[in-house]
Amino acid sequence: MNINTNSPIIMKNLLFIFSVFAFTGCITTEPEENTEVIYEKTIEEINAERGDPCDCIDKSLLAIDLFLERMNADAFESSVELNAEFALTMQGCMQPLGHRAADLAWNQSMVGCDSFSIIREAMIMVKNFASNLKASEQASFVNSTTEEGANGVLNRLQEGAK
């Protein structure tokens, strides 16, 4: 068999066939040894780590009662301070984890607890108190700046941003 090596078409075909064999030889079908299996927890597993929802509520009642006492004694000067302190009070098993489905399921499981209505009423009281405090802050700001005019408002906003 006599192959004409001067023919560019034959050379291109041979080169192509060789490239295909070389490329397929580099491909392996065996899995890599360092493959990691990523295991995601189920909603039930996530919430099981939180414990019993009713125990969580019962343990949080004392902290919430103390918070409400401080709130009713006007211990908070601003709505920002009130909200920050309430967030700290609600930390622990009542704090959302950021996993939407697990947090929704956790909240649903808390609704069935006997003392959930106490927590709900406390949250409503804090919300209303914060709204009243915010309205008072806004009225105070408007009243103090009307005498100064637009320049006074801008100056106060700049000072507040620092």
pLDDT digits (tens, 9 = 90+) for 84-137: 999 888 887 778 888 999 999 998 999 889 988 998 899 999 999 999 999 988
Using an 8 Å Cβ cutoff, are 43 and 105 in contact? yes
DSSP state, 113?
S
Closest CA relative to residue 50, chosen from 94, 13, 83: 94
Rounded mean pLDDT of the chain? 79
What is the amino acid identity at position 124? I
More confident residue, 7 or 56: 56
Please give the C-alpha separations between residue 40 and each of 89, 99, 108, in angstroms, as whole numbers.
30, 12, 22
Read off the pLDDT of each residue in 20-48 and give the average, rounded to a whole number.
67
More confident residue, 141 or 41: 41
Q: Residue 21: its pLDDT value, please? A: 54
Taking the complete model, does pTM exceed 0.75, yes or no?
no
Residue position matching structure tokens 């004694």? 73
Read off the pLDDT of each residue in 126-149 and give the average, rounded to a whole number.
80
